[in-house]
Amino acid sequence: MKYRYLGGLEVSALGLGCMGMTGVYGSGADKNEMIKLVRDAHNRGVTMFDTAEAYGPFANEALVGEALQPIRDKVVIATKFGFDIDLETGARTGGTNSRPEHIKAVADAALKRLRTDRIDLFYQHRVDLNVPIEDVAGAVKELIAAGKVKHFGLSEAGVQTIRRAHAVQPVAAVQSEYSLFWRGPEAELLPVLEDLGIGFVPFSPLGAGFLTGKIDENTKFEQGDFRNLVPRFSPDVRKANLALVDVVKAVADRKGATPAQVALAWLLAQKPWIVPIPGTTKLHRLEENLGAVELELTADDLAEIDAEASKIEIQGERLPEAVLKMTGH
């Protein structure tokens, strides 16, 4: 495994996104199998594990906490706050809540579920338009002073929000969607992160599975799989977007690699402070993804991917409209 830095936080070059282990892509997987998978990932060099109170709610943090308890001091746990979730019942309104007192209560509850005394990376999951970002950063700063949190992160935040937060409490990492399937961060976000010395954690680095080459216009997703709600995954749109997968496959065939490995290696090649967090519930997929760390894409490979991808106009929005409205800019 190779290692990278998110701000001052050292992590494996690929992390593990744990969201799908308790649902989202349909029914959740077997808990004991997922605990084993998390530990298998660590045995293969993965040190960063990504979860959130909203995944479940609460079930995902509890799973990750149980899995990592025996190796707690060898790993980095990233979790998130920011939704209006009742801390007793798990009931949620669908809205955001980053009031300072709520952030602190979420941190205490997360520490118990995660079976730990500190959160290594605490992200605001979505920007709360009702709470100044300076107040959010100030609350996390207090949690850091208390030793309950080590580093501050933001998810799906706009560049002005990031600058304002960073001025109060240095931001170690920003998490947002980024892949060959969605290159939105390249225009504004990446230059600002580079300027401020903030790391970037792309979620959905494989385009929610699309860039693996295992999905086509005839693929049927399980009931409850969020991709059924995503415009980019409607069958007719999927068929048009397969042209991008063909570009990745061509490079993969030449390199003796898989499309997933090429897609992840492409991300790793963009900046040395980018740490993708592909998720999976299968050991063979985990091992395949980790193979991307050793896959060297040459300047010619990268130029070919960019040239061919630039000819393709990706169809469909990356998220449902209601979710897109919650990305803060």
**Two tokens at 264?**
């992840």
Cα Rg of the chain, angstroms: 19
pTM of the model: 0.97
Asked if 82 and 112 touch (Cβ cutoff 8 Å), the reply is: no
Query: Which letter, b or e, does each residue of 241-272 get, where b requires 16 or more Cβ atoms within 10 Å of its Cβ?
Result: beebbebbbebbeebebbbbbbbbbbbbbbee
For the segment 253-281, the average pLDDT, to the nearest whole number, is: 98
C-alpha–C-alpha distance, residues 251 and 256, integer Å: 9
* Phi-psi category of residue 159: left, alpha or beta, with phi > 0 → left and psi -120 to 50 → alpha: alpha
For residue 246, pLDDT over 90 is answered with yes
229, part of any domain: no
98, part of any domain: yes
For the segment 149-165, the average pLDDT, to the nearest whole number, is: 98
- Ranges 78-82, 178-182, 220-224, 306-310: which has the least confidence: 220-224
Residue range 188-219, pLDDT digits in tens: 999 999 999 999 999 999 999 999 999 999 99
43, part of any domain: yes
- Number of domains composing the chain: 1
For residue 123, pLDDT over 90 is answered with yes
**Two tokens at 206?**
């494989």
For the segment 272-296, the average pLDDT, to the nearest whole number, is: 98
Residue range 48-83, pLDDT digits in tens: 999 999 999 999 999 999 999 999 999 999 999 999
Q: What percent of the chain lies above the pLDDT cut of 90?
A: 94
Q: At 193, which CATH number?
A: 3.20.20.100
CA distances from 71 to 42, 78, 166, 211, 286 (A): 9, 15, 31, 32, 19
* Given the residues 25, 55, 123, 178, the one annotated as active site: 55
Q: Which domain holds residue 49?
A: 3-206+271-296
- Neighbouring C-beta atoms of residue 173, cutoff 10 Å: 25
- Ranges 19-23, 31-35, 42-46, 300-304: which has the least confidence: 19-23
pLDDT at 296: 97
pLDDT at 142: 99
Residue range 260-270, pLDDT digits in tens: 999 999 999 99
Alpha-carbon dihedral angle through residues 284, 285, 286, 291, given to the nearest 10 degrees: 90
C-alpha–C-alpha distance, residues 46 and 61, integer Å: 18
For the segment 17-28, the average pLDDT, to the nearest whole number, is: 85
With CA atoms as reference, report the closest residue to 51 among 65, 41, 37. Answer: 65
pLDDT at 327: 66
Query: Which letter, b or e, does each residue of 126-137 get, where b requires 16 or more Cβ atoms within 10 Å of its Cβ?
Result: bbbeebebeebb
Label residue 24 by pLDDT band (50, 70, 90).
confident
Mean pLDDT, rounded, of the chain? 96
For residue 129, pLDDT over 50 is answered with yes
287, part of any domain: yes
For the segment 20-39, the average pLDDT, to the nearest whole number, is: 90
pLDDT at 325: 78
pLDDT at 176: 98
312, part of any domain: no
pLDDT at 329: 40
Is 25 annotated in the active site? no
282, part of any domain: yes
284, part of any domain: yes
Label residue 324 by pLDDT band (50, 70, 90).
confident
